[in-house]
Amino acid sequence: MKEFVVYTAMRLLVFVASLLIVVGVWSLVAGRDSVHAVWTVVLAFIVSGIASYFLLNRQREAFARRVEERAHRASAAFEERRGREDVE
């Protein structure tokens, strides 16, 4: 659970930073009155997705390992219950 919280919090942080950068650059280039909220959010999602792919690789792998471990334990428990059912 910790890995999920850390990864999600860092993704949100990267998105907020990307949004602030996109809004800042857009308002510098096009002027403050011409900043479109929808397009800045879409562009920030794209930028944060690319950035988090490279910046959060370690956290993503830790989260994936945790999910894989839980899936393996659940699968083993299921097979054990099924094996006990077959014996009875």
Cα-based distances in Å from 47 to 9, 18, 42, 55, 81: 17, 6, 9, 12, 46
User: Does residue 76 surpass a pLDDT of 90?
Assistant: no
Comparing CA positions, the residue from 28, 27, 29, 25 lying closest to residue 17 is 25
Give pLDDT, residue 31.
Answer: 80
What's the whole-number mean pLDDT along residues 72-77? 88
Tokens (6 digits) for 12: 């949100």
Tens-digit pLDDT profile for residues 11-68: 999 999 999 999 999 988 888 777 788 999 999 999 999 999 999 999 889 889 999 9
CA distance 73 to 79: 10
Give pLDDT, residue 88.
Answer: 61
Give pLDDT, residue 84.
Answer: 76
CA distance 22 to 66: 33
